[in-house]
Structure 1
Amino acid sequence: MPIVRISLPKTTLDHAQHIGQCVYQAMRDTIGIPEGDNFQVISQHEPGELVYDPSFYGIERSAGFMIIEVTLARGRAPEVKQRFYHRITELLSAECSVRPEDVMITLFEIGPGDFSLGEGKAQFLENLPPHLQELGAQPSEAPTN
C-alpha cells in the first residue's frame, strides 16, 4: 500500500488532482500496484515554501518544481524503480505540462509489517497480498520487547 506525498506549487485543484492521477497510473503501469490502492496527500505551496537549488546536479529547475515522495513495501529491482521514475515524468509531461526537470522523486521502502490499513492492525503480518508475495516480501517479525 503505497502512500504518496506530492508537494507542488500553488495551482488549481483539478490540476493538482490530475498530477496525483498520473502518479497513481505510473504506479499501476510499472510497480505492480493493484487497482484501488491509491492513498495520496497533495500539498500546494506558495512561492518560497518549496526550497530547492535551481541547478543542483546539473538539472535546471523552474518555479514549477515539485517533490513526489512514495512510501512503499521494499523489494523492487533498480530497473523497475527507474521505469517508475520515467513513467511518472512521461505522464506528467504529456498530460499536465510538467517539465521532467521539475520532478524530484524519492522512494521510502519499508517492510510489510510496517503498514496498518486501519483498525489498529498490521494486516500484512497476517495476510500478505499477492502483489507483495511476488516481490518475495516476508512479513516483518514482531518486536521481542
Structure 2
Amino acid sequence: MREHFVLAEGDKFHIFEQLEPGAFIYDPDYAVQEPRTDDFMIIQIISDARRADEKAATIKALCENLGTTLGVKSQDVVVVLSTISTLEDFSLGHGISATTAAAAPA
C-alpha cells in the first residue's frame, strides 16, 4: 500500500475479521479459472481518488505478496477499491473534515 498508493508512514487503519466455516457464503467458481479454497478473502480498501495505474499496481502487489508470504492463491483474493471524491468526504478525528485538517497549520 505504501509503495503503490504513496501512503504516509503512520497511515495504518486495518480491520481483520476471520469468519467461522459456513459463515462466509461465496461461489467458489465465480469469475475464476480454478475454484476458490477455504483461504478465500475479500480485501476492501477505502481511499481518496487514485489513478488507474496506482490501483492496478496495488491490486497486483497485494495478490503477489499474499501468494509469496502466505501461500494464498490468486483466485482466493478479491480486492474492492472504494474511492471517495475529495478529502472533505473523510474525517480522521475530532469531527473535522480532512480538507480542513490538512489546511490547518501544524
Q: Considering the TM-score relative to the shorter chain, is it more than 0.5?
A: yes
Q: Give 1 or 2: higher helix fraction.
A: 1
Cα shift readout 1:18-39 (whole Å, capped 9, x = no counterpart)? xxxxxxxxx1111111111000
Other-structure match for 2:36: 61
TM-score relative to the length of structure 1: 0.65
Instruction: Select which of 108, 112, 115 maps to 2:90.
Output: 115
- Count of paired positions: 101
Q: 1:47 aligns with which of 15, 21, 33?
A: 21
- Residue 73 (1) aligns with residue 48 (2): yes
Tell me how far apart the structure 2 counterparts of residues 77 and 123 of structure 1 sit (CA, whole Å): 20
* Contact kept in structure 1, 2:32 and 2:75, CA below 8 Å: no
Distance in 1 between residues matched to 2:69 and 2:17, nearest whole Å: 19
SS in 2 for 1:127: helix
Alignment of 1:1-145 (within 5 A): 27-59=1-33, 60-74=35-49, 76-110=50-84, 111-127=86-102
Report the Cα offset of residue 58 of structure 1. Answer: 3.0
Structure 1 residue runs of 5 or longer lacking an equivalent are 1-26, 129-145
Distance 1:66 1:58 in 2: 14
Q: Give 1:65's aligned amino acid.
A: F
- Supply the RMSD in Å over aligned alpha carbons: 1.4
Encode CA deviations 1:40-70: one digit per residue, 9 max, x unaligned.
1111100111111101113421111000001
Q: Give the unaligned 5+ runs of structure 2.
A: none
> Which of the two has greater strand per residue?
1
Q: How far has the Cα of 1:78 moved from its partner?
A: 1.6
**Which 4+ residue blocks in structure 1 deviate beyond 6 angstroms?**
none
